[in-house]
Amino acid sequence: SAAAMQRNHGALVTCEWLNLELESDRADDLRLVDATWYLPFSKHQPPEGSGGAIAEYEAGPRIPGSVFFDIDAVAATHPDGLQHMLPDEATFTAAMADLGILPSSRVVVYDRLGIFSSPRFWFTLKVAFGHPGHVAVLDGGLPRWLELGFPVETGEVQPSDRKVCYTDPPWRFSPACCWDRKAVEDNIKRRQAVHLDARPGPRFRGHAPEPRDDLRGGHIQGSLNVPYAEMLQ
Over the stretch 151-192, which tens digit does the pLDDT of each residue have?
Answer: 999 998 987 777 788 777 788 999 999 999 999 999 999 999
Residues 144-150 have a mean pLDDT of: 98
In the structure, what pLDDT confidence band is assigned to residue 230 with cuts at 50, 70 and 90? Answer: confident
Sheet bearing 67-68, strands edge to edge = 12-13, 135-138, 106-110, 30-34, 67-68
3-state secondary structure of 153: strand
Structural contact between residues 188 and 220, judged by C-beta atoms closer than 8 angstroms: yes
Out of 55-64, 88-97, 181-190, 204-213, pick the least confident: 204-213
Judge whether residue 218 has pLDDT over 90.
yes
In the structure, what pLDDT confidence band is assigned to residue 45 with cuts at 50, 70 and 90? Answer: confident
Q: For residue 8, what pLDDT is reported?
A: 46
Among 114, 109, 122, which residue's Cα sits nearest to residue 146? 114
In SS3 terms, 11-38 reads as: CEECHHHHHHHHHCCCHHHEEEEECCCC
- Cα(223)–Cα(220) distance, integer angstroms: 6
pTM: 0.89
Q: Fill in the amino acid letter for 112.
A: R
> How big is the CA angle at 144 (ends 140 and 148), to the nearest 5 degrees?
145
- Where helices occur in the chain by DSSP H, the ranges are 2-4, 15-23, 53-59, 89-99, 118-122, 141-147, 181-190, 201-204
- Cα(190)–Cα(155) distance, integer angstroms: 54
What is the maximum alpha-carbon separation in the chain?
A: 55
